[in-house]
Chains A and B, each alone.
Chain A
Amino acid sequence: MSSAHEAAALNDLMSAELSESERAKRGDLARRKPYVAAKLAANKDRQENGFPTPVVRLAANMLCNFQCDHCCAEHYMDRHLIKLTSKPEQRHQLDLNDIRELSRQADEYGLARFVLTGGEPLVMRNPGFDEVVEAIDPDKHYVITDTNGWFLDVAKAKHLKAIGVEKVQLSLDSYVEAEHDDFRNKPGSYKRVMQAIDASLEAGLNLLLSTCLVHARVRSEEFRNLCAFSQSRGVGLYVTYAKPVGSCKDHPEWLITKDDADCLRELEKEFPVFTHMTPSYGMFQGCITVKGIITVTSTGEIVPCPYMDMSIGNYLKEPLRVILERGMRNKWLGSHRPDCLIGEDPEFIRFHNDAVGDRVQLPVPYGEGFSDADLLPTVDVDRTSTPPRN
């Protein structure tokens, strides 16, 4: 670890922008995992120098014990492909060596965070969840897992903590039990989420609730109650807008308007509620495509947003760094913007959905959706800090 990164870590801990609890969390991480803490602390500087600092969402495989109405991953799942083609996924699926290589390249580029996603990560098989965490290497990366909470009891939560997982993002799509269970098509799932909240906190995991916001919920009493509940538990509520992709394509009435998004921005003043566009600890990223998030599919494709089905390249075929830097030059993806590209920009939504069409195999490969035709001209660069480390 360079002295520049150590200095960044120290500055990070001293930042006046941090709350006491956040400072304590970062201090704890710096003691246990100094390498990871230093990389995280360097993110702000890297962003200011024009480098992407995405969290790497890894969908190592696509098994799931739920079948939610709004799922953006359903079209990647074997159960869906079998319905359409009578066959499961035929393309190469990531193995542990592929994941180790992804971890290595991400680390070399200075990336610091992995989110295990899916499907439902806790039912992941071949490779299994623990093997994937080990392949990522929790001493090199801050490891987070998404989960629907169904299998997250105290024992499981303690196990996750023991193998190096730092944080859990738990889906809760309504504060009304029947509505959550109905939206998730899974009776009993609300109760499991509530148990999983307690289990995660008891195990000492950082916890985030995530919820999918549809138009009708924005001004509802239910959503306000959910915000208040998050606040009462001392847990942040991460809001994702329903997007016009995947299973949501059939529900245009779910999409939010700019006015809805602004209403949510007002709630940020009252509650610990936020979206990926919300300013956070001095960072103002706006839409985080490539800049702050990528998804790696089970076939190695790099998708710039969890809700897009178009690839910007496959890391099994070319270096991650090349793909990311190309993504940053993509006119849709690399530029700073305040809105949610796939959730709010009608022209992009059309472009995306026309390219995706009725394709069975997703995501759309680079060149057939996103392509070099989308690249912006180069702007004069006068970077002052060190480039990525590879």
Chain B
Amino acid sequence: MSTGRRLPRGTDRIVTGFRAPSVAAGLASAPDAVHGLFDDHGRLLPAEDDVVYSRIDRRYFRVAQPEIDFAAVHARAERHLGAAGLEPWITRSEFEDRCVGLRTAMLGSPETAGLFSGVHVPFLLPSLCARADMGEELEAGLLDAVGKSYVESFPAYEFRNYLRGQLNGQLSVVSGVRYERLVEEHSSRILAGWCFPTALAGYAVPDQRKVIRRLPDDLILSGPLETAMALVGSPSLLMQRANYPSLLALTAVQPRDARFFHFFEAYGWNLTYNQRSMVGAVSEYVSGGLTIFI
């Protein structure tokens, strides 16, 4: 079911020139649109041969939808990344316009609308923190920003990066998951978009990487860069009192030891960044995510 469908590109992709109507029109008129890719909770409906924990997610592990407050997301990004390195910046309204435009476009398409029934988190990924190496970028800025934002919101608790000092030169994009687009494009411009961190809840890691091939071409598998910024903007994403939130697997990238994948995870009321292997296993607790950006 690989379609190669894409949102129209071109002038929509410049920093301040997003034009939602043309995007919406593009999706709606896609000749091979497939309806109903996602369930009522925004989870990709498994195909027959997908290895998943269960065909229907019982949602024992789940993530609560954070409040969508573009101003707060923008302000946190600005505050925690450090304003000095963020030029050229985009204004809060430009950020909001881009995200809203993208959302409008996706809601206008039967095949992507369902994603917004699930958890959706806006993010802003500045260009100037882009470095040649993803691990260095995480180590040098993004994960610190995650920690600052988390502790600012929850001063009694902590963010712990278990991989501190071990990231430089360690990460590469997995072939076929489209993440190289995000890596390439954010080296030259600021990206805005949406993370859907529970879209692949309960999918085995190899299958998270496989299913992307049959999804609309603008959706990419989630990785650490934009998910880190989603957490900077919405630090309460994994802070849950009553139930256990999913582990957010960042499977678009892999460390040198390919048995492992990186992830964000709550530990009680704390937030962590770490890696684990899940050789031969599939877990309802582990959720892959999808991302779209402009």
Residues of A within 8 A of B (CB): 47-50, 258-259, 261-262, 265-266, 279, 284, 286, 328, 331, 334-339, 345, 347, 376-384
Most buried by B among A279, A334, A339, A376: A376
Most buried by A among B241, B244, B257, B286: B244
Given the contacts A258-B241, A379-B204, A266 and B269 also touching, CB distance less than 8 Å? yes
Complex CA distance for A380 and B266, rounded to whole angstroms: 27
Interface pair A48/B282, CB less than 8 Å apart? no
Interface pair A335/B280, CB less than 8 Å apart? no
Q: Measured between C-beta atoms, what is the minimum distance from A373 to chain B in Å?
A: 13
Interface pair A284/B280, CB less than 8 Å apart? no
| Number of interface residues, chain B, beta carbon within 8 A | 37
Given the contacts A266-B269, A379-B51, A48 and B242 also touching, CB distance less than 8 Å? no
Binds A, one of B86-94, B102-110, B271-279: B271-279
Q: Sample 16 A-B pairs with CB under 8 A, ordered by A number.
A: A47-B277, A48-B277, A49-B277, A49-B279, A50-B278, A258-B243, A284-B274, A328-B280, A331-B53, A331-B54, A334-B281, A335-B281, A338-B266, A347-B60, A377-B282, A380-B280
Interface pair A336/B285, CB less than 8 Å apart? yes
**B61 neighbours in A (Cβ, 8 Å):** 337
Query: Which 6 A-B pairs rank lowest in CB-CB distance, beginning with the nearest?
Result: A265-B268, A50-B279, A335-B283, A262-B268, A50-B280, A381-B280
**A261 neighbours in B (Cβ, 8 Å):** 268
Interface residues of B in 43-79 (CB under 8 A from A): 51-54, 58, 60-61
Q: Of B244, B265, B274, B280, which is within 8 A of A258 by CB?
A: B244
- Inter-chain pairs besides A48-B279, A377-B52, 11 sampled, C-beta below 8 Å: A47-B277, A49-B259, A265-B267, A328-B280, A335-B284, A336-B278, A336-B285, A376-B53, A376-B282, A379-B280, A380-B51
Q: Of A50, A331, A337, A378, which is within 8 A of B277 by CB?
A: A50
Q: Measured between C-beta atoms, what is the minimum distance from A278 to chain B in Å?
A: 9
Interface pair B280/A383, CB less than 8 Å apart? yes
Q: Measured between C-beta atoms, what is the minimum distance from A379 to chain B in Å?
A: 5
Complex CA distance for A376 and B280, rounded to whole angstroms: 10
Interface pair B58/A382, CB less than 8 Å apart? no
Q: Does more than half of chain A's interface fall in helix, strand or loop, or is it mixed? A: loop
**A328 neighbours in B (Cβ, 8 Å):** 280-281
Interface pair A336/B58, CB less than 8 Å apart? no
Interface pair A284/B269, CB less than 8 Å apart? no
Complex CA distance for A284 and B247, rounded to whole angstroms: 13
Complex CA distance for A312 and B101, rounded to whole angstroms: 53
**B54 neighbours in A (Cβ, 8 Å):** 331
Given the contacts A49-B277, A335-B281, A335-B283, A262 and B269 also touching, CB distance less than 8 Å? yes
Complex CA distance for A337 and B276, rounded to whole angstroms: 12
In the complex, the chain B residue whose C-beta lies closest to that of A377 is B51
Complex CA distance for A265 and B22, rounded to whole angstroms: 50
Complex CA distance for A150 and B286, rounded to whole angstroms: 44
Question: In this assembly, does B85 line the interface, its C-beta being within 8 Å of a C-beta of chain A?
Answer: no
Complex CA distance for A334 and B60, rounded to whole angstroms: 17
Given the contacts A382-B259, A384-B259, A259 and B281 also touching, CB distance less than 8 Å? no
Question: In this assembly, does B30 line the interface, its C-beta being within 8 Å of a C-beta of chain A?
Answer: no
Complex CA distance for A376 and B286, rounded to whole angstroms: 15
Interface pair A48/B259, CB less than 8 Å apart? yes
Q: Of A258, A284, A335, which is within 8 A of B282 by CB?
A: A335
Q: Measured between C-beta atoms, what is the minimum distance from B174 to chain A in Å?
A: 13
In the complex, the chain B residue whose C-beta lies closest to that of A381 is B280
Complex CA distance for A49 and B258, rounded to whole angstroms: 11
Q: Measured between C-beta atoms, what is the minimum distance from A218 to chain B in Å?
A: 13
**A259 neighbours in B (Cβ, 8 Å):** 241-242
Interface pair A345/B60, CB less than 8 Å apart? yes
Q: Measured between C-beta atoms, what is the minimum distance from B145 to chain A in Å?
A: 23
In the complex, the chain A residue whose C-beta lies closest to that of B210 is A380
In the complex, the chain B residue whose C-beta lies closest to that of A282 is B162
Interface pair B279/A383, CB less than 8 Å apart? yes
Most buried by B among A261, A265, A328, A347: A265
Interface residues of B in 234-266 (CB under 8 A from A): 241-244, 247, 257-260, 265-266
Q: Measured between C-beta atoms, what is the minimum distance from B151 to chain A in Å?
A: 14
Q: Measured between C-beta atoms, what is the minimum distance from A259 to chain B in Å?
A: 6
Given the contacts A331-B53, A376-B53, A339 and B244 also touching, CB distance less than 8 Å? yes
In the complex, the chain B residue whose C-beta lies closest to that of A279 is B267
Question: In this assembly, does B21 line the interface, its C-beta being within 8 Å of a C-beta of chain A?
Answer: no
In the complex, the chain B residue whose C-beta lies closest to that of A335 is B283
Question: In this assembly, does B206 line the interface, its C-beta being within 8 Å of a C-beta of chain A?
Answer: yes
Complex CA distance for A109 and B53, rounded to whole angstroms: 27
**A347 neighbours in B (Cβ, 8 Å):** 58, 60
In the complex, the chain A residue whose C-beta lies closest to that of B267 is A265
Complex CA distance for A381 and B259, rounded to whole angstroms: 9
Complex CA distance for A384 and B258, rounded to whole angstroms: 10
Complex CA distance for A338 and B269, rounded to whole angstroms: 13
Complex CA distance for A262 and B270, rounded to whole angstroms: 9
Interface pair B276/A336, CB less than 8 Å apart? yes
Q: Measured between C-beta atoms, what is the minimum distance from A263 to chain B in Å?
A: 8
Complex CA distance for A328 and B279, rounded to whole angstroms: 11
**A279 neighbours in B (Cβ, 8 Å):** 267
Complex CA distance for A334 and B280, rounded to whole angstroms: 10
Complex CA distance for A338 and B53, rounded to whole angstroms: 16
Q: Measured between C-beta atoms, what is the minimum distance from B30 to chain A in Å?
A: 32
Complex CA distance for A318 and B61, rounded to whole angstroms: 35
**B241 neighbours in A (Cβ, 8 Å):** 258-259, 262
